[in-house]
Amino acid sequence: MTFHALVVDDNRDVLDDVKDRLESLGHTCDLAETQADARALLEHGRFSYALLDLEIPVRYGSPCRIGNGKNLVREMRTMRGLADVPIIVMTAHGHGSPRLAVDVMKHRGAVDFVMKPFSEADPPLERVIEDVLRVTRRDHPGAKSHSELARDPDPPQPFEEGEMVFFETRIELCGVRICDGVGSGLVRAILDIIREKDSRGRFIALSGEELAQRAGDTMTRQNDIADAVRRLREKTQAVLLEEANIRCTRRDVITNDRRYGYRLASKITVRDADDVRSDPSSDADDVRNDVSDGPIDPRSSRDDVRAPSARQEWIVGQLKAKGELRKDEVFPGYKRQFGLSKTTLERDLNALRRRGLIRFDGEKRTGRWRRV
């Protein structure tokens, strides 16, 4: 019998420690560092039990709050198939400790708690888990382990190629959500940058230092980039397997080496959700305003009937105030206002052009954008 656990903690060292302990027990687990990642795993997985830190962020880059963990416990108790999954709270010294854990057990539905850092005699984490499983009579393994998936009639298919679609609110790969919306954190910023292509049509490659300079603020470091890429790889592997029955390796989506740095794998194609005709990575659209490239029929795509975003309204306002602008003249203010890349600006400009709100006049390198 294989027990499968959900483990939620914003501290990677704690996650690694718990994973080692669970594997020693013969259990498998899924790991989450945020409330959003935990929700995604809960929607599609079955679990024998859960180990939750309460002080977690809603998403990457947001502050850690005890209330987020409490809300996650409450959500689990209302989700179909999860109402009776035992929840063990992991709590650290200095946060009310037993009082907080007892409150969550009494009012939210947790069944036990364990103190961090883990002790070998207090009792140890392993003993708490075994006692909870025995008392709650959890006699089924929960979600399938990787070995059980391999014996299924329809084993996972290897990742051979995939389309990465950029929405305002998310990024999808093979139709599966792998990242949140614009401004949601470092992972999104990295993907918005490395989707760019060079003059030969290949995805650009950037070192960790270069990505840190372009994707974050002055506090972002190479180690932050490496950690963000690792989280993305792990999440992508997990959700593609769970939701699409596709098994991918850590290098199938983002590759990196000392010579070239980080880049999207050649198996990936990219497009914007509101670009239904061509690869958005090409900037040739900057000079096309013919009838065939006019506003899209609103019936053709749900995203096309969306009102312009706040960023796009800002662009229209700049053109209204100044009459006409080159892209390079728009970008400094755009970056100050929203902290986003030139690639995202290009997508916003083209989205506005397709809606018929602005147009491009002149040569590709020297032409100007105007309101229609």
Amino acid 100: pLDDT:
61
- More confidently predicted of 157 and 26: 26
Q: Look up the CATH number of the domain holding residue 348.
A: 1.10.10.10
* Domain interval for residue 245: 157-270
Residues 286 and 362 in one domain: yes
Last residue of a domain, one of 144, 174, 203: 144
Smallest CA-to-CA distance from 44 within 249, 253, 240, 247 is with 240
Amino acid 262: pLDDT:
93
19 lies in some domain:
yes
Task: Grade residue 302 by pLDDT with cuts at 50, 70 and 90.
Answer: very low
Residues 234 and 347 in one domain: no
Question: Which token pair is 339?
Answer: 């902290």
275 lies in some domain:
no
Amino acid 366: pLDDT:
77
Residues 9 and 139 in one domain: yes
Amino acid 113: pLDDT:
80
Angle at 38 (CA atoms; ends 2, 238), nearest 5 degrees: 60
255 lies in some domain:
yes
Per-residue pLDDT at 51 exceeds 90: yes
Residue whose token pair is 């392993």: 126
Question: 3-class secondary structure for 132-156?
Answer: HHHHCCCCCCCCCCHHHHHCCCCCC
Give the model confidence (pLDDT) of 232-289 as tens digits: 998 898 888 877 778 888 889 999 877 778 999 999 999 887 654 333 333 444 444 4
Residues 165 and 256 in one domain: yes
Residue range 140-163: average pLDDT? 58
Last residue of a domain, one of 211, 236, 270: 270
Per-residue pLDDT at 342 exceeds 50: yes
Per-residue pLDDT at 29 exceeds 80: yes
Residues 167 and 237 in one domain: yes
Amino acid 292: pLDDT:
36
149 lies in some domain:
no
Residues 139 and 13 in one domain: yes
Contact assessment for residue 51 and residue 18, using Cβ atoms and an 8 Å cutoff:
yes
Q: Look up the CATH number of the domain holding residue 113.
A: 3.40.50.2300
Residues 129 and 15 in one domain: yes
In the chain, pLDDT over 70 holds for what percent of residues? 77
How far is residue 111's CA from residue 108's CA, in Å, rounded to a whole number? 9
Residues 347 and 317 in one domain: yes
Other C-beta atoms lying within 10 Å of the C-beta of residue 163:
12
151 lies in some domain:
no
- More confidently predicted of 121 and 358: 358
Question: Which token pair is 347?
Answer: 């997508």
Amino acid 251: pLDDT:
86
Residues 129 and 20 in one domain: yes
DSSP state of 304: G
277 lies in some domain:
no
Q: How many domains does the chain have?
A: 3
Per-residue pLDDT at 138 exceeds 70: no
299 lies in some domain:
yes
Last residue of a domain, one of 82, 110, 144: 144
Amino acid 34: pLDDT:
92
Give the residues across from 176 on adjacent strands. Answer: 173
pTM above 0.75, yes or no: no
Residues 304 and 353 in one domain: yes
Residues 8 and 114 in one domain: yes
Residues 217 and 291 in one domain: no
